[in-house]
Structure 1
Amino acid sequence: MDLDSFFVSVERLRNSELNNIPLIIGGKSNRGVVASCSYEARQFGVKSAMPIRMAKMLCPHATILSGDMEQYSQHSRLVTEIIADHVPLFEKASIDEFYVDLTGMDRFYGCHQWAVELRQKVIKESGLPISFGLSVNKLIAKMGTNEGKPNGAIRVPVGHEKAFISPLSVRKIPMVGQKTYQTLSAMGVRTISTLQQIPRPLLEREFGRSGIVLHQKSHAIDHSLVTPYSEQKSASKEQTFQHDTIDVEYLKSKLVSMTEDLAYELRKQKKLTGCITVKIRYSDFNTVSKQQRIAYTSHEDVLIRIAKGIFDQLHDRRVLVRLIGIRFSHLVQGSFQIDLFEDNTKSLRLHEAKDLLRQKYGEQVVRRAVSLSKARM
C-alpha cells in the first residue's frame, strides 16, 4: 500500500485550492531540490530530486511550497495507526509505504475484498488517497501498486506474475537506477521481457552479485519477508567520562559527535528517526532524560540542532556530569533526501561525499570541528 504523492496529498488536504494544479514540494530557492510533485507537474517532466531551477523551467506556472515534515509525519503516523488496528502483520517500508501480509486470509474472507475495504477505510479516516497492489510477493505487489497509481488498486493473480511485468520497462524494477538502466540499454535491454531472456551468467558477469538479483526479479522471484513493524526499534550511543566534568561545551561536543555517528548509521541503513532522547547522568548517579518526537529525518544538521536543544532544556544542575547519551527511536525505512526541503544541490552533494568518504575510509575520517576540538586538547 502506497500513499499517492504523499506530501502533495497532505498539502491539498490542508488547502483545497491546491487541487488539480501543478504543485511542487521542495526548497523555494533556485538551488533547492524537488522533494515531491503532483501528477499535474509530472506531466511536464518534473520529478523528485530534480533541481528546483530545472523544475521551474519545465513547469513555470507550478505552485511551489517549502513543505512541512511535522505535518507529513503526523499524517504518516495516523495512517500507520489505522493499518495497525486492522492488520496482524505489516511492515512500514517508508513514511508513506506499507507491506501487509494477508497469508491465510483467502480461506476466511478473501484477500482482495479485505484489501479493498482496508484501502477504503484509510481513505475515509485519513482523507488521503492510497493505492495498493496485491500479489504473491513484495516485489510484484510493489510494482503492481506503482502501476495502479494514482489512487487505484491492481491484483496480480497467482501464476500471472511474469506476464504482468514482462511488457514493463526495466526502469520499473525497484533496484534499477539510472546507471543500471544505461548499462542495460547499451546491451539492448529496455523491457523486462527482453531481460528475462538474458542468461543469468551474463548478468552476473556484467553486474556482479546484483546481476543474480536482477535475474531473479525479472522472473518475478522475491523471497523477502514482511518485517513486522515496531515503534520500539532504536539506536543509541552513550559515553562515560574518565573524569567527571562540568564543561558544557565539552559535553555538547561529545553530544554532537555521537549524534553525527548515529545519523550516519541511519543513512547507511536507509532509516529515519521520529524521536530523540538525550540522557545525562550526574556524578551523584542521579540520571535524567528527555525525549522529543520529531519529523522523520536522518539529516545530521537537523538532529544535532534538536539534540543540543534538548540538552539545554535538560541540563539544569551545576553538578559534575558522569555520562551523556543519545537515542534515536521510532525508526522507519526511508530516504535521506526525504526531508531536505531547504537543502540545495550543493548541500546534498556535500552530504553524499561525506558519507562516501566514511564508507571508504572509516567513520572517523571526516567529522565536524566542534566534535574534535575538545577531544584533542
Structure 2
Amino acid sequence: MSNRRPSRRRWLQLGGTAIAASLSGCLSQLSGDDSGDDPGNETDPESDADGESAADDPETRVYREAIDSVVLVRNDEGSGTGFMIDEGHVVTNAHVVGEASEAEIRFSEGQWTTGEVVGTDPHSDLAAIAVETVPESATPLSFIDGETAVGTDVVAIGNPFNFDGSVTAGIVSGVDRSIPSPTGFTIPDAIQTDAAVNPGNSGGPLMSLEGRVVAVINSGGGDNLGFGVSAPLARRVIPELIETGSYEHSYMGVSFADVTPDIAEANGLDEPRGLLVDSVVEDGPAEGVLQPSEETQVVDDTEVPVGGDVMLSLGGDELLTTEDLGNYLALQTRPGDTISVAVLRDGSEQTVEITLGTRPDELE
C-alpha cells in the first residue's frame, strides 16, 4: 500500500539498491539483527514528488554530512549500525555486539577494519568499540545538549536489511519512554520516533536537522514506532564504557505502581498522586526504609494494593509517573548517593533517606 509522505518527511534511500517491503507484525526488539518496522516507499533522492530538487533539503544535508561517520557493525552474532563518537571509538547497541570481543567495521566508502569491543552496558543497551584505522572523512558525531522536544524533525541513518547508507525521515513522536533492556530492567528517558526503523538500524544515530545525535537507535516495534537511547543517558554512559569498560546504574530495590483513582480511593488519598510501594527487595537499599503494601482491597471489581508508602518526590522532584522515577535515578544519581524521599505513610507526609545501591546484572 502506498505511504507517500511530503518532501520533508519522505524516506530517502541514498546509496545501495532501494527496497520496498511490507513487514507483518513486530520483530524482536533485542535480536542481533534488531527489530523492524515498515520500510516505506522508495523515493528518488534527487527530486521530491513534484520534481523539485532535494539537494538543499535539510534531511539531505544532514545525511551527506553524517554518512561517512556511520558504519556497519558485524560479528558472528549479527549485524547492525554504529557511528563515530570520537576519533577512535564507535558507538552501537550492546545487543548488536552481544558477547563478542571484536567486531568487523565497514565505513561508508567500503573500507573494512576490525574493532575491539572495549565496553558494554546491557542496562542501557550501549556499547563502545575501539578502532585504529579510521578514514579522514569519518569525523565524530556529537550528541545534542539538553532534552529533545516532541515534534522535532529527525532522520535515522543506518543499514537496514544490510542496505548500507540508508536514511529515513520523521519526527520525535514521544519522550520519557521506558523500553525493555536485555537485562529485564527498563531503559528510561527513551526517545520515540515515527522514522522507519528496520532490522540493521540498531546502534545508528537518530539525528536532528541541525546535525546532532538525538538518540542511539535501539529498536522498532510496529508501524511508525521506533525507539532510541536518549542523548542525555548516552552522554553519561558512553565515556565510562570507553574509560572503564562498564557502567554502574543506581538501584533502589523497589517495585511500585502508579497511584490510579482506584488505588487512591483504597488508600484514602484525596487525589491520585505519587507511586505506591508494592514490594521491597530483601537486603536491598530500601529495605527497612520504605514500607511495602501487604494487603489488597477490591475497588470496582479490581483488586488493588493498600497500606504501603506512597512516594511523592525524590530529592525534591515530584513523582507523577514511574518514568519520573526512572529518569531521576538514571540521569541525576549514582550508586552510593543518599537521596531524600518524601512519602505518605499512614495518612501523614514524612521524609526518609535511602542510600542507593548498584543495579544487579539481571532483574530478580
Shorter chain as denominator, the TM-score bin is under 0.3
Question: Which structure is larger by alpha-carbon Rg, 1 or 2?
Answer: 1
Structure with bigger strand share is 2
